[in-house]
A and B are shown apart, each in its own frame.
Chain A
Amino acid sequence: MKRTAVVTRVINPAALIAEVTSVEVGAISVFLGTVRDTNDGRKVTGLDYSAYTSMAESELSGIADEAEARFGVHSLVVEHRVGELSLGEVSVAIVAAHQHREPAIECARFVIDEIKKRVPIWKREHYADGSRAWVDPTRATEATAL
């Protein structure tokens, strides 16, 4: 089972875990991306994400297909949220279930790494002084890219 989506609502990790839970699996790996309060030394007060939604959905689906083929996961659910997000909220959730832990963990890692390379979603940070700026990871310093 595989499901991927770009959503405008709050992501509920518990619901995603329930979606992949099965007696056939022995490991469920969860990755959550959340909104943090600093970036590159600047105080961040919130974020908004925008997307080229039709392409983002097709890229997410393609990544999930590759991940299923590569890791043989029993089920995989990926949601990426767009719109305005507050500090601490979940921006992306990846939940991978497999009979064994290693492919489940590797699968979640593969999916987030690929999202960061090729899903057309953009993040704009809001700062304490009221200004906003689009995040460009190609210009990130080594420290912030980690």
Chain B
Amino acid sequence: MGLSEDIAIVETKKIDIESPIIIEGVPDIGLVGSIAVSHMVLENKFEEVGYIKSDLLPPVMVIHERKVLNPIRIFQKGKILAILAEIPVDPKLGFLLSKRLVDWYKEKGAELVISISGTPVQERIDIDDPIVFGTSNKEELLNKMEEIGVQILEEGFISGFYALILKNCIELGINSSVLLSQSYPSYPDPGAAASILKTINKMIDINIDVKQLIDQAQEVKINYRALMEQTNASMQKETKVEIPTMYR
């Protein structure tokens, strides 16, 4: 029997929220998204309400505190839904998963999708407070982000999984923002994740305490080392997109 390309979103608990806000954390540069969403979910005691099921996922299960868990899970607290991926998302899975997720966001009547990522900077070691950059498909959101200190991207590119999320959100008319924090290119970056969470605190109705994330940054880095190694390898395998010289 061949493998199916279907992607199912399994709701282990009924998700019935009006106009949810979605926050996505998928492993990429500096694991900023995964670290930020993982911290938010633990710190603010989100409840696990679902997971992604697909033959396209690698044969991986995650173990946290003796519990065996699916690698891409959905959490909820109030009207916030969090998507947390703890495995690298390869291009094929990324194409299909982004489409399936955005269709599901539409079904749920999502008010806003916030995707969290990092932007690599070579001199990150000299930066104490990483700058958060952002973009969105809605002018009002761009203005709001600018007001809270996000540096809006004027020119450039978003690539990878979040580019697909943004593209699909535009097609289905869903408000979408991508937040990118200055990050180490190849190391897990809890400091960058903390910067993004501070921005999210100002952007939506949530209060995420990042003190523990900053205090335990070294432990977080060692825990995420293996995922970072796999993510670096996965990103190197991704189709290379040639960026025009003017943007370099």
Interaction A to B: no
Chain A interfacial positions (CB closer than 8 Å to B): none
Chain B interfacial positions (CB closer than 8 Å to A): none
